[in-house]
């Protein structure tokens, strides 16, 4: 929990990341979700946990059998 509360800072702009609506596409489908993002350059931080859970679930649902 402590780690989750830590501030995330953009390595390039040194700005604190803010939760912002972020669009992504996969196999021709577009989605959005809230992700930590640099307000300056727009770089997005995606945690490994998110990749392994929700994003891989989206992949599984969209990939052909």
Partner 1 sequence: MIHNEVIHDTWSVCPVCLRRIPAQRIRKGDEVFLRKKCIDHGSFETIIWRGFSEINEWVNGSDIHFSDEPQCPDNCGLCTDHLQKTCCVLLNITDRCNLSCSFCLADQDNNSIDPSFEEICESLQNLIVKGKTLVQLSGGEPTVREDLPEIIRAAKTKGAKYVQLNSNGIRLGEDKDYARKLAEAGLSFVFMQFDGNSDAINESLRGKALLKIKQQAIDNCAAFNIGVTLVPTIVRNVNLGNIGQILEFAISQSPKVRGVHFQPVSYFGRTPGTPTDEKRITLDELVFEIEKQTNGLIRYNNLLPSCCDHPLCGFHGDFVVDGKSLIPLSKKEINEGAGCCDTTAAEKNRQFVARRWQRPAGETENSTSCCGDIHNMEYFLTRVATHGFTVTAMAFQDAGNIDFARLKHCSFHVYDKGRYVPFCAYYLTSWRG
Q: Residues interacting with partner 1, by CB under 8 A?
A: 27-33, 54, 57-58, 61-65
Helix residue ranges per DSSP H, 1-65:
2-5, 48-50, 56-62
| Other Cβ atoms closer than 10 A to 24 | 14
Tokens linked to 23: 């669009």
Measured from the CB atom, the residue of 22 and 43 that comes closer to partner 1 is 22
CB closer to partner 1 out of 1 and 28? 28
The smaller minimum CB distance to partner 1, of residues 13 and 33, is found at 33
Minimum separation from the CB atom of position 60 to partner 1 (A):
8
* Maximum C-alpha span of the chain: 43
């Amino acid at each position: 929990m402590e780690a989750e509360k830590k501030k995330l800072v953009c390595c390039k702009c040194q700005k604190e990341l803010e939760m912002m609506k972020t669009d992504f596409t996969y196999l021709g489908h577009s989605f959005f979700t809230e992700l930590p993002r640099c307000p300056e350059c727009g770089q997005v931080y995606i945690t490994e946990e998110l990749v392994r859970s929700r994003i891989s679930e989206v992949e599984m649902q969209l990939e052909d059998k």
